[in-house]
């Protein structure tokens, strides 16, 4: 079921089936980008991806250590690693899930967001199961927390897995009402690095000035662990967390070449705060057999990550090297391995909260090869066609484009999902 949070009204409604596009609103939806932003999303392509992931997750050996048919809450479960987590838990462990996302429906002028289409595809696959629910709203808002808890009490009783996969440009403090904005900047010194334009593959030099103390603090307010702590505290306070609750917050650290703008930059400072909060949460949860972990995931293509100097170029080359070495994992495979590792984690107040799933990426042989290939690249040149095609393809895949088997010349209903059906 898909829920819409609108003012103080919570509607529990069934997700409709995708139309066959035989209506006046049908048109061809082309892939269209502007900088590092995708203007369009394709419902058919998103549906194919969700179902392919689900089929693959179902075929994998059952993950041990996470229980049978767990009940999970996933914040940010509409795209990327969050969506992959929902799919793996559902198909591999028979989980019941609640997902929170912040996506837009279609309008007369544009399609819906990819997260919206992914969620509808997910619900279409499991229609009638009564095991999956989605809320569309701001995960930072207290209203959303209250809606989630209400849903858990009515449908699940309690949850045993809580996944925090949130990346946002701003956050409204639920207590003070102050709105904080995050920035992706270095700390202490300027930074310059090569980036690649998605519209043609041209390499250019991007420079960033160091963040102010206020910007560092604001970024930590948005991307740090404060909201994670609020969620865990509220779930426990409301009695909807199992005693052995497993909490996982997703993060990224990356190789040393990106540290000035990432690990040692504003986002890194915020992620340090996430880890500190997880240490505290883990000590508390371990008293009853629970745990908290920060999962350090591998580099992946996202709309946000491609806006960071060095990162898109690094990802394009790193991905190819990983494929050549037989080590490449897409989002689904990577999350599956992460959950396998999570199931083996020991419980204890002093256990290491860092769950390193980026071990393959950071192997010396991988990083040495990536560094070697990046060394000769210069601003003003064009990235090798093979690297560029893979990067742009991976980016477009996020929005349902360049998916094998999809006829992009076929018209689809542009108003799909615009109107909510009657409750």
Say how many residues make up the chain: 423
Taken in order 148, 298, 308, 253, the sign of the CA dihedral is positive
Domain ranges across the chain = 2-403
- The answer to whether residue 262 is catalytic is yes
Render pLDDT for 106-163 as a digit per residue (tens, 0 to 9). 887 889 999 999 998 999 899 889 999 999 999 999 999 999 999 999 999 999 999 9
Structure confidence at residue 418 (pLDDT): 56
Mean pLDDT, the chain, rounded, equals: 90
Segment holding 132, helix H or strand E: strand 132-136
Residues 6+ apart with CB under 8 A from 391: 196, 198, 301, 312, 315, 316, 319, 383
Render pLDDT for 356-369 as a digit per residue (tens, 0 to 9). 999 999 999 999 99
Task: Copy the structure tokens of residue 226.
Answer: 């404060």
Q: Are 317 and 374 in contact (CB under 8 A)?
A: yes
Structure confidence at residue 416 (pLDDT): 64
Question: CA–CA separation, 333 vs 85, rounded Å?
Answer: 10
Structure confidence at residue 305 (pLDDT): 79
Of 312, 306, 274, 309, whose CA–CA distance to 293 is shortest?
274
Q: Which residues, in sequence order, are bridge partners of residue 171?
A: 180
Structure confidence at residue 287 (pLDDT): 97
Query: Among the options 180, 262, 314, 318, which is catalytic?
Result: 262
The pTM (predicted TM-score) of the whole model is: 0.93
pLDDT averaged per 10 residues, the chain (length 423): 36 37 76 88 95 98 96 97 98 97 87 92 90 94 97 97 95 96 95 88 92 98 98 98 98 92 94 98 98 96 82 92 96 98 97 98 96 93 93 94 95 66 24
Segment holding 356, helix H or strand E: strand 354-356
Task: Give burial (CB, 10 Å; 0-12/13-18/19+) of 62.
Answer: exposed
Structure confidence at residue 37 (pLDDT): 86
Structure confidence at residue 17 (pLDDT): 39
Question: CA–CA separation, 54 vs 59, rounded Å?
Answer: 9
Task: Copy the structure tokens of residue 167.
Answer: 């990346």
Structure confidence at residue 109 (pLDDT): 80
Q: Are 75 and 139 in contact (CB under 8 A)?
A: yes
Render pLDDT for 31-60 as a digit per residue (tens, 0 to 9). 998 888 899 999 999 999 999 999 999 999
Of 414, 386, 321, whose CA–CA distance to 108 is shortest?
414
CATH no. for 2-403: 3.40.50.720
Structure confidence at residue 128 (pLDDT): 86
């Amino acid at each position: 079921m898909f829920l819409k949070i609108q003012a103080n009204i919570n509607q529990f409604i069934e997700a409709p089936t995708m139309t066959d596009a035989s209506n006046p609103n049908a048109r061809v939806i082309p892939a269209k980008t502007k900088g590092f932003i995708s203007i369009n999303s394709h419902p058919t392509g998103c549906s194919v991806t969700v179902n392919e992931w689900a089929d693959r997750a179902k075929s994998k050996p059952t993950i041990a250590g996470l229980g049978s048919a767990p009940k999970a809450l996933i914040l940010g479960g509409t795209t990327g690693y969050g969506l992959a987590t929902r799919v793996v838990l559902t198909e591999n462990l028979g989980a019941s899930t609640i997902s929170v996302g912040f996506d837009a429906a279609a309008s007369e002028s544009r399609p819906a967001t990819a997260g919206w289409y992914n969620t509808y595809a997910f619900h279409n696959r499991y229609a009638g199961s009564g095991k999956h629910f989605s809320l569309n709203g701001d995960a930072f808002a207290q209203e959303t927390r209250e809606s989630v808890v209400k849903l858990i009490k009515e449908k699940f009783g309690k949850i045993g897995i809580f996944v925090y996969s949130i990346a946002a440009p701003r956050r409204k403090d639920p207590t003070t009402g102050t709105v904080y904005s995050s920035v992706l900047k270095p700390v202490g010194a300027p930074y310059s690095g090569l980036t690649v334009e998605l519209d043609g593959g041209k390499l250019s030099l991007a420079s960033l000035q160091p963040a102010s103390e206020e910007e560092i603090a604001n970024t930590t307010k948005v991307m740090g662990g404060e909201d994670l702590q609020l969620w865990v505290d509220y779930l426990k306070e409301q009695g909807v967390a199992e005693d052995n609750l497993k909490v996982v917050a997703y993060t990224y650290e990356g190789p040393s070449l990106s540290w000035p703008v990432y690990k040692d930059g504003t986002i890194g400072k915020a992620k340090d705060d996430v880890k500190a909060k997880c240490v505290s949460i883990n000590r508390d949860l371990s008293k009853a057999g629970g745990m908290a972990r920060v999962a350090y995931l591998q580099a992946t293509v996202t709309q946000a990550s491609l806006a960071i100097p060095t990162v898109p170029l690094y990802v394009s080359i790193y991905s190819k090297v990983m494929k050549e070495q037989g080590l490449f994992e897409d989002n689904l495979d990577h999350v599956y391995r992460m959950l396998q590792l999570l199931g083996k984690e020991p419980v204890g107040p002093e256990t290491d909260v860092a769950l390193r799933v980026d071990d393959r990426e950071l192997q010396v042989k991988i990083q040495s090869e990536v560094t070697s290939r990046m060394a000769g690249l210069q601003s003003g040149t064009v990235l090798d066609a093979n690297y560029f095609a893979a990067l742009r393809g991976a980016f477009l895949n996020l929005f349902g484009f360049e998916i094998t088997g999809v006829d992009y010349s076929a018209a689809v209903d542009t108003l799909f999902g615009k109107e909510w059906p009657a409750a």
